[in-house]
Amino acid sequence: MILSTVISQLCEGMVTSIEIFLLTLLFSIPLGLLIAGGRMSSFKPLQWLMKVYISIMRGTPLMLQLIVVFFGPYYIFGMTLSPDYRMIAVIIAFSINYAAYFAEIFRGGIESIPRGQYEAAQVLGYNKLETFFIIILPQVIKVVLPSITNEVITLVKDTSLSFVIAIPEMFTVAKQIAAADASISALLVAGVFYYVFNVIVAFIMERFENKLSYYD
């Protein structure tokens, strides 16, 4: 099969991979921030619940989580699921998995801010919510951005795991073409796509880091 035909067949899978990537970030980053808040809460039951959640999400394979989210509603609750749920299950599994990693990154960033920042904000008349979003969070973002970049780059490659519940993302389509043609050309094209995608993501994140740098 000629290269142009391979690329055209891979385009639909490419769009699916990008969709998984963007939707996962959209949901997992805010969720991670909420989980980090729960993890740092003075309310012990909530704190321990978040610790257990993070431990499970980070301690079990994402592939297993995809299978549980997709098949769980049927086998546990006997629910009949629509065909659209396949993609929804991917977004749910990716989001709750990455939220656990982002939560620990945010927690580390928040705890790195000196206590004096909170005391100064209190003296200036800020309440706790204003202190966090106006003073603390902008500083936390600067601290955690390199770690978030690493997770985002990992996410680009992890989108290929959605093959486990038969989502036709880039890698799945490439494997199907390679099997049909007895050729690895489609897999090589897919590899180039993942590499270019990661280079673009790294470039964008680096620009963000430079914009937020204290030294520029």
Query: For the domain 3-212, what is the CATH code?
Result: 1.10.3720.10
Q: Are 65 and 97 in contact (CB under 8 A)?
A: yes
What pLDDT is attached to residue 2? 62
Separation between Cα atoms, residue 117 and residue 14, nearest integer Å: 45
Which pLDDT score is estimated for 167? 83
**Nearest to 88, CA basis, from 162, 33, 158:** 162
The span from the CA of 124 to the CA of 8, in Å, is 59
pLDDT of residue 139: 87
Residue 105: per-residue pLDDT: 95
Residue 108 pLDDT: 92
- Three-state SS for 1? coil
Domain ranges across the chain: 3-212
Q: Residue 188 has what pLDDT?
A: 86
Q: Provide the residue-wise pLDDT of the chain in tens; the chain has 216 residues.
A: 566 667 777 887 888 889 999 999 999 999 999 999 999 988 999 999 999 999 999 999 999 999 999 998 888 888 777 878 889 999 999 999 999 999 999 999 998 888 888 888 888 888 888 888 888 888 888 889 989 999 999 999 899 898 888 787 888 888 888 887 777 778 888 888 889 889 998 899 888 888 876 555
Geometric angle at alpha carbon 90, from 162 and 170, rounded to 5°: 35
Write b or e for each residue in 105-144: b if 16 or more Cβ atoms lie within 10 A of its Cβ, otherwise e.
bbbebbeebeeeebeebeeeebeeeebbeebbbebbebbb
User: What is residue 4's predicted lDDT score, i.e. its pLDDT?
Assistant: 67
In this prediction, residue 205 carries a pLDDT of 87
